[in-house]
């Protein structure tokens, strides 16, 4: 019997990916179905449903699930889920119809339509306010919509969605480029669980990354290794916003750091195929939810987790774990509550006077003694060709990142926010 946390939802790993003869038959069938072009976000969601990362989901959400998730973090059957997983389209489709879901010429899944519901501008705005609006200064009532349509990629994505949401179960036919392009890094939940079992781990932390690892990330991972059996360094290898560092560069940078500065027996590096939603606290909950499926029971949540701009409070992604359903009361049905707990870490930095990494809980010195570390700040310096301050990152990693930026012919301006600059410390 496994000592790892059970997959989310109480049904084990729910995997929609077909294999063998079943896959061949469905691929043949898909060739004769109506072809629906889907977004990169939907492609990532499908792959997560295929590999079991989105257990217990079996397809895209119906309206009752969409509404319950937005409003109260609960699907219609009472299962906790923090963000909508929906499929939008303009095509006229009917309940009972079977569709082939295609991205960039490749069929990723077939789907049986169970429900079609219209999404008005008011519906999309309501979803944005529930999912993306936080407690930061840019989420204030008098400025959220003025700023979000220009600067919040998650809001832009939802507001740009098509007229209808189409719900129903899926059969996944492809994991796209990930198994080959990220061989040994793209791991399914069953594979990470097997690796944890082989190492004898039962308490496992996860470090979420959308940036290369700087010293603060390294410090967080090592704190967790001190109190857990091991750490899964789990980076997003799907799509990011313009100006972020591509997945292949980040994977190389992370490998360099892990090889030189971690005990190999205590850490596993892997990647997962989602696009960022930039939903701040809600996305922190999503990270914990699907990490539970990978066998993780402690999710590292630091400063401004999954944030964008100044839409969220610095530690809002930690505080939300105490406010969700079942956080303070027993779940009526086993398995439907979130079992992966947050590992809440204060603001971390390098302190010259302490002569090492520290946090606001351990360092008594003023901010002039501290090197404020953030992925945004690092991208800004590298993009501008500026000097990266000493103790910000490991030299071996900076070599990888500088080579990438020097090869760019077109650069995107990186906007600094208060959380990244350290002004609010």
Q: Specify whether the CB–CB gap between 180 and 126 falls below 8 A.
A: no
SS3 state of residue 46: helix
Query: Three-state SS for 344?
Result: strand
Backbone angles phi, psi at 117, to 5 degrees: -135, 135
Helix, strand, or coil (residue 4) = coil
Catalytic residue among 210, 277, 282, 379: 210
| Unique residue bearing structure tokens 């972020």 | 244
| Interatomic CA distance for residues 249 and 175, integer angstroms | 21
Which of 118, 154, 114 is CA-nearest to residue 134?
154
Please confirm, yes or no, whether 210 is among the known catalytic residues.
Answer: yes
CB atoms within 10 A of CB 263: 10
Which stretches of 178-228 are assigned E, i.e. beta strand?
204-209
CA distances from 108 to 54, 275, 373, 391 (A): 16, 16, 39, 44
Q: Which of 165, 211, 293, 297 is catalytic?
A: 211
Full strand arrangement of the beta sheet holding 356-359: 356-359, 348-351, 370-372
**Containing H/E element for 241?**
none
- Judge whether 211 counts as a catalytic residue: yes
Distance (Å, rounded) from C-alpha 183 to C-alpha 301? 27
Query: Which of 93, 99, 101, 113 shows the shortest CA–CA distance to 37?
Result: 101
- Distance between first and last Cα of the chain: 46
What is the H or E stretch that residue 172 is in?
strand 164-172
SS3 357: strand
Strand partners, 110: 100, 171
Token look-up 């990244």 returns 420
Cα–Cα distance for residue pair 42/89, rounded to 1 Å: 11
Active site residues: 210-211
């Amino acid at each position: 019997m496994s000592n790892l946390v059970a997959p989310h939802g109480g049904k084990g790993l729910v995997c929609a990916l077909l294999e063998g003869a079943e896959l061949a038959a469905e691929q043949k069938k898909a060739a004769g179905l109506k072809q629906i072009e889907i977004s990169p976000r939907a492609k990532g969601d499908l792959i997560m449903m295929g590999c079991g990362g989105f257990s217990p989901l079996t397809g895209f959400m119906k309206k009752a699930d969409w509404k319950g998730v937005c409003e109260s973090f609960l699907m219609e059957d009472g299962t906790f889920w923090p963000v909508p997983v929906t499929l939008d389209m303009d095509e006229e489709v009917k309940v009972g119809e079977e569709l082939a879901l295609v991205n960039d010429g490749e069929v990723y899944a077939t789907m049986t339509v169970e429900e079609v519901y219209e999404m008005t501008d008011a519906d999309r705005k309501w979803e944005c306010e529930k999912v993306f609006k936080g407690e930061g200064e840019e989420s204030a009532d008098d400025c959220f919509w003025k700023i979000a349509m220009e600067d919040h990629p998650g809001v832009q994505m939802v507001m740009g969605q098509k007229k209808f949401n189409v719900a129903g179960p899926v059969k996944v036919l492809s994991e796209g480029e990930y198994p080959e392009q990220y061989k040994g890094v793209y791991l399914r939940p069953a594979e990470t669980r097997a690796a944890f079992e082989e190492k004898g781990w039962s308490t496992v932390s996860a470090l979420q990354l959308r940036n290369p690892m700087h010293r603060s990330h390294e410090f967080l991972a090592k704190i967790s290794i001190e109190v857990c059996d091991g750490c899964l360094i789990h980076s997003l290898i799907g799509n990011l916003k313009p100006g972020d560092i591509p997945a292949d560069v980040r994977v190389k940078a992370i490998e360099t750091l892990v090889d030189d500065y971690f005990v190999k027996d205590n850490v596993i590096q892997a990647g997962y195929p989602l696009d960022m939603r930039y939903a701040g606290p809600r996305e922190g909950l999503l990270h914990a939810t699907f990490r539970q499926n990978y066998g993780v029971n402690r999710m590292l949540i630091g400063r401004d987790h999954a944030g964008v701009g100044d839409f969220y409070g610095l530690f809002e992604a930690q505080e939300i774990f105490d406010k969700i359903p079942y956080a303070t009361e027993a779940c009526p049905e086993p398995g439907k509550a979130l079992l992966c707990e947050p590992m809440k870490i204060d603001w971390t930095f390098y302190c010259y006077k302490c002569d090492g990494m520290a946090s606001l809980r351990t360092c008594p010195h003023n901010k002039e003694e501290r090197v404020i570390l953030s992925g945004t700040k690092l991208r800004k310096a590298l993009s501008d060709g500026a000097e990266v301050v000493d103790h910000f990152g490991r030299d071996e990693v900076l070599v990888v990142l500088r080579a990438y930026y020097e090869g760019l012919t077109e650069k995107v301006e990186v906007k600094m926010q208060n959380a990244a600059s350290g002004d609010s410390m």
